[in-house]
Amino acid sequence: MMRRVRVVWEKLVALSASNLGLKCLAVVIAVGLWLSGHRDIERAVEVPLEFRNIPSDLMVTDNRVDYVVLRLMGPRTLVSTLDPDDMKLSLDLHAAKPGPAIYPLHASSFHIPRGVTVARITPPVIQLRLEPVVRRMLPISVQFASKPPFGYTIADMHIEPENVLVQGPADDVRKLRAVETMPIDFEVKEGTVKRRVRLSTDGMAVSFSPEQIEVSFTVEQEQVSREFPRIPVTARDFTGRYTVTPRSVSLRVFGPKRIVGQLELTSSHVYLDLEGLAVGEHVVPLTVNLPPEVALVEQKPEQFHVRIAQIGS
């Protein structure tokens, strides 16, 4: 075998030494290239699937196929250059009715160039389900990615628009009571926040008009009131003998939750100031020291009777 190849090669070399030989060699190479380019090959092509002429009162709800795989055979020069978008499969649904629908596929369903053969179509059948379209106006429900930090709250919320048109399968649309937004993230700071937010389908085959809404809200400190019952009442920085009536007080304060929730009232915050008072009986107001953000809104009783028996030790 090797000897025969050598003999052929020597003859080609000998021919190439003359003009006639060069011409013959060029013809041989051209024929070889032409035969190589026209050799049949096989190729798998993913062809996109689209629907057209869908009745306005119907929609496709169960389509498990986004593209069809064609196994094509033909000359290399044709098959290797095919563009899947040029062979796009368009299903005409103008005569479709509610319920399941089956569309068998054939080679004629695609735009295949002459000279190319369809060996296999996967899947061979497109199975759909069409349902009646329902439209409803529904309110918006704003969702947040997390709760505000302790001591802060969201107030003065405004939504524009407050209602949107929902369109989709009857079963899905009738289940909805409101349309939720995609979760909103916001920075923890006081002030007004504005966001443009998309609406969530929650996995349902529904659409909205408009698809986005504008939400504005205010982040502010949460204000709360808190009761402090029966706090003992004593005099501060007083040396001597005295009695107080009554012996305790109940307070109610109001202020930011993050401060009021951690507030502790002791004798250093709630006390009687007896400085400068002589021996005898007196009506003395209560001194209450609170953080600047916290206000005293109620005190029971408001005054205290103090009987000083002795000043100094």
Q: Encode pLDDT of 69-96 as tens digits.
A: 999 999 988 888 888 888 888 888 988 8
Mean pLDDT of the chain: 86
Q: What is the pLDDT of residue 77?
A: 85
Give residue for tokens 């498990």.
Answer: 64
- pLDDT at residue 253 greater than cutoff 50: yes
Q: Summarize the confidence of residues 167-190 as an average pLDDT.
A: 87
Give residue 146's pLDDT band: very low, low, confident or very high (50, 70, 90). confident
- pTM for the model stands at 0.55
Give residue 183's pLDDT band: very low, low, confident or very high (50, 70, 90). very high
Give residue 141's pLDDT band: very low, low, confident or very high (50, 70, 90). very high
Most confident of 41-55, 87-101, 252-266: 252-266
Q: What is the pLDDT of residue 28?
A: 46
Q: Summarize the confidence of residues 14-40 as an average pLDDT.
A: 51
Q: Summarize the confidence of residues 18-47 as an average pLDDT.
A: 60
- pLDDT at residue 158 greater than cutoff 50: yes
- % of residues, the chain, pLDDT over 90: 46
Residues of CATH 2.170.120.30 domain(s) within the chain? 42-132, 224-311
Q: What is the pLDDT of residue 19?
A: 56
Q: Summarize the confidence of residues 208-227 as an average pLDDT.
A: 94
Q: Summarize the confidence of residues 176-185 as an average pLDDT.
A: 93
CATH number of 224-311: 2.170.120.30
Query: Is CATH 2.170.120 what the domain over 142-221 is classified as, yes or no?
Result: yes
Q: Summarize the confidence of residues 224-252 as an average pLDDT.
A: 94
Q: What is the pLDDT of residue 9?
A: 52
Q: Which of 42-56, 57-71, 112-126, 162-176 has the lowest mean pLDDT?
A: 57-71
Q: Which of 1-10, 212-221, 281-290 has the lowest mean pLDDT?
A: 1-10
DSSP for the chain, written as a single string: -HHHHHHHHHHHHHHHTSHHHHHHHHHHHHHHHHHHHT-EEEEEEEEEEEEES--TTEEE-----SEEEEEEEEEHHHHTT--GGGG-EEEE-TT--SEEEEEE--GGGS-PPTT-EEEEEESSEEEEEEEEEEEEEEEEE--BSSPPPTTEEEEEEEEESSEEEEEEEHHHHHH-SSEEBPPBP--SSSEEEEEEEEBP-TTSS-EEESSEEEEEEEEEEPEEEEEEEEEE--BSS--EEEEEESSEEEEEEEEEHHHHTT----TTTEEE--TT--SEEEEEEEEE---TT-EEEEEESSEEEEEEEEE--
The CATH class for the domain spanning 42-132 reads mainly beta
Q: Summarize the confidence of residues 118-131 as an average pLDDT.
A: 90
Give residue 31's pLDDT band: very low, low, confident or very high (50, 70, 90). very low
- pLDDT at residue 32 greater than cutoff 60: no
